[in-house]
Amino acid sequence: MSAPAQARASHLLVKHRNSRRPSSWKEPVVTRSEEEALQLVKQYRNQIATASDVPVAFAELATTESHCGSARSGGDLGWFGPGQMQKAFEDATFALTVGELSQPMFSDSGGQRKAVAARRPAGVKRSLAAAAVSHAPLRELTAPESPVTPGCPAQLPELITQEAVRSLESELDNGASIAALRRFNDLLADLPADCWEARLRPVMTELAYNLESFNPAFTSVLLRVQQTIGVSDYVRRDTALKHLIQPLAGEYGMHNSEAQAATHRELFSQFYADLMREPLEGALAATPCPPAAQLFFAQMTRDLCGPGSDVMQQACYAMGYNLAIEYLADYEKTWMLDSFRTLNSRVLAPAGRPLTQWVFLEVHAEGEAEHAAIGHAAVTAFVPAAEEGVLRRAMMDHDRDMAAFYNHLADLLEA
Ligand SMILES: [Fe+2]
């Protein structure tokens, strides 16, 4: 029997002070040691293992105790295939039977990215946390017997390698968007106490529009891949689509087998109202189409929906564009969370109006690295090696446009 192509797992994450980012939605500053984190996970594991209904106990405890953004979905990480999760986590998950609990484990987080910024120091390895794992008691998918769609060439083109995609990602690490994001976030953290609100207001309106402009972009990516029907191999296309649809569904608060949670727009509205002390609806009504975000959206639409005759190249371009969005969003949201924390402690809290709604920023700071891994897996499941140039062009196009957007926002903060 062949090994499952996909697995679904839940985890309960406990961070410690040596974690890559020692803060979470549960604890702004994590101070516990690795040993203390391990003991906590052991305690949680015992509680779960001795419960009358293990999956329910796992989900309940993960919801209240996990430091991961997946706490919102009872610790569920959804479906994933080989190469999408950290190796140790993947190996542990695939070794379990359905419904089984793993032993506590430490997960690494240093392997995915080059160290380019202060918060990703080289050499940090054993950096995330102790985690308990369980297969959700659901179906497993096995690799289909016949991988070639009738009408497709029997000899499938060679796929792009992990190394080639990582190399392109490392170009983003040193690209224009990273510089613009650094500039923007430094200015955000340093906003003057006497005029922070006036400077931030137009920026927040731009961010609100920008947040929603990614949903049509992701939808276009899905369409571009679907349009290769009859040209691309069914299994490759299907695998890519299964990956690509997950982050889009998450934007609308949707996860498999669960009641619908808050959409990202709703989470942003809470954050905005807490920060600016006014409803987001009023700001959007006053400025329905903020100029920088509107331009950025027009560029994305032009790039992803423009005319062309080669559907495979269009699909590969769209997937490269998507990967760049998700890859850069990890920096974008992690740094934004840090900057708002600094602004809060330096300006907002002393002024008597501390931020209390952190969910929007924390969910994104936690979740975008996972989205980037999904985007990476989609690319390596679908894009032929011969299309590396198309992939690179798409990633650089997004890098250029995102840099222009954040430099505009930085200009607003500096005005
Ligand atoms: Fe994302």
Q: Are residues 212 and 352 in the same domain?
A: yes
Give the residue with greater pLDDT, 21 vs 104. 104
pLDDT in tens, 332-358: 999 999 999 999 999 999 999 999 999
| Residues 201, 94 within the same domain | no
Determine the distance separating the centroid of ligand 1 and the alpha carbon of 248, expressed in angstroms.
8
Distance 219 CA to ligand 1 centre (A): 13
Q: What is the token pair recorded at 352?
A: 């008597």
Q: Does residue 20 fall inside a structural domain?
A: yes
Inter-residue contact 184 to 413 (CB < 8 Å): yes
**Average pLDDT score over the chain:** 82
Whether residue 59 contacts residue 76, with contact meaning beta carbons closer than 8 Å, is answered with: yes
Is residue 147 within 8 Å of residue 140, measured between CB atoms?
Answer: no
For residue 250, how far is its CA from the centre of ligand 1 (angstroms)? 8
pLDDT for 8: 67
Cα separation of 12 and 16, whole Å? 13
Mean of pLDDT values over 183-187: 98
Cα 404 to ligand 1 centre (Å): 20
CA 338–ligand 1 middle distance (angstroms): 18
Residues 118 and 176 in one domain: no
Rounded Cα–Cα distance for residues 211 and 250 (Å): 13
For residue 147, pLDDT over 70 is answered with: no
Is residue 118 assigned to a domain? Answer: yes
Question: Residues of 317-339 as b/e, b for ≥16 C-beta within 10 angstroms?
Answer: bbbbbbbbbbbbbbbbbbbbbbb
Question: Where residue 316 falls among pLDDT bands split at 50, 70, 90?
Answer: very high
For residue 317, the CA-to-ligand 1 centroid distance in Å is 18
Q: Give the pLDDT confidence score for residue 113 in this predicted structure.
A: 29
Across 83-97, 153-167, 280-294, 308-322, least confident range: 83-97
State the pLDDT at residue 123. 26
pLDDT given at position 62: 80
Distance 156 CA to ligand 1 centre (A): 30
Mean pLDDT of 30-50: 83
Ligand 1 centroid to residue 145 C-alpha, Å: 32
Q: Tell me: do 170 and 42 sit in the same domain.
A: no
Whole-number Å distance, alpha carbon 33 to ligand 1 midpoint, is: 30
Q: 82 in a domain, yes or no?
A: yes
Residue range(s) defining the domain that contains residue 170:
162-414
Q: Which amino acid does the sequence have at 59?
A: A
Q: Which residues contact 379 (CB under 8 A, 6 or more apart)?
A: 160, 165, 240, 319, 320, 323, 391
Does residue 1 lie within any of the structural domains? no
> Residue 142 falls within a domain, yes or no?
no
Indicate if 121 and 177 belong to the same structural domain.
no
What is the Cα–Cα distance from 222 to 414, expressed in whole angstroms? 38
How many angstroms does the Cα of residue 131 sit away from the middle of ligand 1? Answer: 23
Distance 146 CA to ligand 1 centre (A): 32
Is 263 in the same domain as 410?
yes
Query: What are the tens digits of pLDDT across the range 250-280?
Result: 888 887 777 888 998 999 999 999 999 999 9
Domain-located, residue 156: no
Structure tokens at 129: 């946390």
Tell how far the Cα of 68 is from the centroid of ligand 1, in angstroms: 15
Q: Are residues 180 and 303 in the same domain?
A: yes
Are both 184 and 57 inside the same structural domain? no
Q: Residue 49 Cα, ligand 1 centroid: separation in angstroms?
A: 33
Band of residue 47 on the pLDDT scale cut at 50, 70, 90: confident
76 and 175 together in one domain: no
Task: Return the bridge partners of 105, or none.
Answer: 131
Side chain identity, residue 381: A
Distance 351 CA to ligand 1 centre (A): 33
Q: Same structural domain for residues 25 and 173?
A: no
**Percent residues over pLDDT 90 in the chain:** 57
Helix 234-251 × helix 196-226 angle, to 10°: 150
CA distance linking residue 327 with residue 174, whole number of Å: 12
Report d(CA 335, CA 315) in Å as an integer: 30
Encoded tokens for 314:
């269009």
Residue 225 near residue 304 (C-beta atoms within 8 A): no
Cα(147) to centroid of ligand 1, in Å?
29
Taking the centre of ligand 1 as the mean of its atom positions, its distance from the CA of residue 326, in whole angstroms, is 5
Closest CA to 382 of 314, 301, 333, 298: 314
d(CA 360, CA 293): 19
pLDDT at 144: 36
3-class state of residue 51 by DSSP: coil
Q: Kindly give the distance from the C-alpha atom of residue 117 to the centroid of ligand 1, in angstroms, as a whole number.
A: 20
The answer as to whether 344 is a domain residue is yes
Per DSSP, the residues of 161-173 read: PHHHHHHHHHHHH
Q: How far does residue 106's CA lie from ligand 1's centre (Å)? A: 25
pLDDT in tens, 238-250: 999 999 999 999 8
How many CA atoms lie less than 13 Å away from 26 in the CB half-sphere?
A: 21
Mean pLDDT of 377-402: 97
Q: Is the pLDDT of residue 9 over 80?
A: no
Please give the Cα distance from 293 to 268 (Å, whole number): 16
CATH code: domain of residue 30: 3.10.50.40
Query: Does a structural domain hold residue 155?
Result: no
Q: Could you tell me if 289 and 383 lie in one domain?
A: yes
User: What total number of domains does the chain contain?
Assistant: 2
Q: Which two tokens stand for residue 389?
A: 């140039």
pLDDT reported for residue 130: 39
Whether residue 182 is found in the same domain as residue 95: no
Task: Say if residue 71's pLDDT is above 70.
Answer: no
